[in-house]
Amino acid sequence: MKIIPLASDSMGTRSMATLVITSGVHILIDPSAALGPRRYKLQPHESELLQLQEHKKRIEDAALESDVLIVTHYHFDHYDLSKVDMFSNKTALVKHPLENINKSQKNRADYFIKQMRPVTEVVEYADGQSFDVGATNICFSQPVYHGTNNRLGCVVEVAISDRDQVFVFTSDVEGAGIDAQANFIIQNQPDVAYIDGPMTYMLGYRYSYASLKASIDHLIQIIEKTSLKTIILDHHLLRDLKWKKHIVPVFDAGAEHNVRVLTAAEYCGMENSMLEARRKELYQEH
C-alpha cells in the first residue's frame, strides 16, 4: 500500500487530500484544498494562492488515475464543488448528505450530490458502511463529531485494508479527543494513521485546554494500544507555528514505542511550509 498526501496545511494549503494506492485500486480521499479567508486580519498572500493552484492541479491529476473518490464531509477544503467532473465515471463514497449533518453542510451536500450524480458511475453513502474492491476493504466509521461537539456537524473516518496493511484517515477530528473518534483508530489497528491534530491555533478561544488534554491523552492511547508505525499529524494543528510545543507528550510516547510522529510534508520527505501560519511574515517579507 502506498499513501501519498497530495496537499496539507504543512504543505501550504488547508487540505488533507490523500491518494492511497493498494494492490488493486487507487483511492482518492477528500479531493480538495482551500485557504483560510482571513488570518491575522489578512487575506491570503500571493504565495498561498500560487500554492493552492499547484495543489489543486496535483489533486485533479490524482483523480484521473483514481477508481474511488471519498468525501468525508462537506467543507470546501475537503470537497470542491467547482470540480464535479473529477467524479466522472468514478465510484463515489460520500458522507450521508441528510443524516448527522448541520444545516450549512446539508445545503452544500444536497447541491453537490445533485450535480455529481449524472456524471458518477456509483454513489454510495458511506456512514458506518464497508465496501470491498478486489482485495481492498474500505471501512467507514459511524459519523463522529467534526471537532469536539456537533456545532460543525459530523465526519466519517476511513480505514483502508489491503492484505496485511491498514491505513486510517480521520478527517476533521481536531485531535481525536472524543472516545468514538479514537476508538475507530484503535479498533482498526492501523500501520499508518493520518490524524487531524488539535486546533491549538485557537487554544483558549474556540479550542479549550481541556480538549487539548483529551487529545493528547487519546493520541498516547492510540500509540500504546495499536501496532502503529507512523502517525501523520496535520491539518488544524499545522496552523500554529508553535505546534510542536503543545504535543511534546505525544512525541515522547512515539519515541518510547518506536512510532514516528510527523507531518504530511515530513512524511513525503519535504520541509514544512506552513504558509497560513506564516501569513503575517509573508506580507512583511514581500
The CATH number of whichever domain residue 159 belongs to comes to 3.60.15.10
Residue 105 lies in a domain: yes
CA separation for the pair 2, 68 (Å, rounded):
15
Give the pLDDT confidence score for residue 170 in this predicted structure.
Answer: 99
Residue 126 lies in a domain: yes
Render each residue's pLDDT in the chain as its tens digit; 286 residues. 999 999 999 999 999 999 999 999 999 999 999 999 999 999 999 999 999 999 999 999 999 999 999 999 999 999 999 999 999 999 999 999 999 999 999 999 999 999 999 999 999 999 999 999 999 999 999 999 999 999 999 999 999 999 999 999 999 999 999 999 999 999 999 999 999 999 999 999 999 999 999 999 999 999 999 999 999 999 999 999 999 999 999 999 999 999 999 999 999 999 999 999 999 999 999 7
Give the pLDDT confidence score for residue 286 in this predicted structure.
Answer: 77
Of the candidates 133, 144, 137, the one whose C-alpha atom is nearest the C-alpha of residue 171 is 144
| Structural domain count, the chain | 1
Give how far the C-alpha of residue 153 lies from the chain's centroid of Cα atoms, to the nearest Å.
Answer: 15
pTM over 0.95: yes
Per the CB < 8 A criterion, the answer to whether 148 and 215 are in contact is no
Residue 274 lies in a domain: yes
Per the CB < 8 A criterion, the answer to whether 175 and 218 are in contact is yes
At 214, give phi and psi (nearest 5°).
Answer: -60, -40
Please classify residue 245 by burial: count the beta carbons closer than 10 Å to its beta carbon, then call 0-12 exposed, 13-18 middle and 19+ buried.
Answer: exposed
Residue 163 lies in a domain: yes
C-alpha cell at 96: 450521508
Per the CB < 8 A criterion, the answer to whether 236 and 276 are in contact is no
Residue 285 lies in a domain: no
Residue 23 lies in a domain: yes
Residue 286 lies in a domain: no
Give the pLDDT confidence score for residue 234 in this predicted structure.
Answer: 99
Please classify residue 82 by burial: count the beta carbons closer than 10 Å to its beta carbon, then call 0-12 exposed, 13-18 middle and 19+ buried.
Answer: exposed
Domain enclosing residue 184, as ranges: 2-279
The string of DSSP letters for the chain reads: -EEEE---GGGTSB---EEEE-SS-EEEES---B--S-BTTBPPPHHHHHHHHHHHHHHHHHHHT-SEEEE-S--TTT--GGGGGGGTT-EEEE--SSSS--HHHHHHHHHHHHHHTTT-SEEEE-TT-EEEETTEEEEEPPPEESTTSGGG-EE--EEEEETTEEEEE--S-TTT-SHHHHHHHHHH--SEEEEEPP-GGGBTTTB-HHHHHHHHHHHHHHHHHS--SEEEEEGGGGG-TTHHHHTHHHHHHHHHTT-EEE-HHHHTT-----TTTTHHHHHHH-
CA separation for the pair 16, 77 (Å, rounded):
8
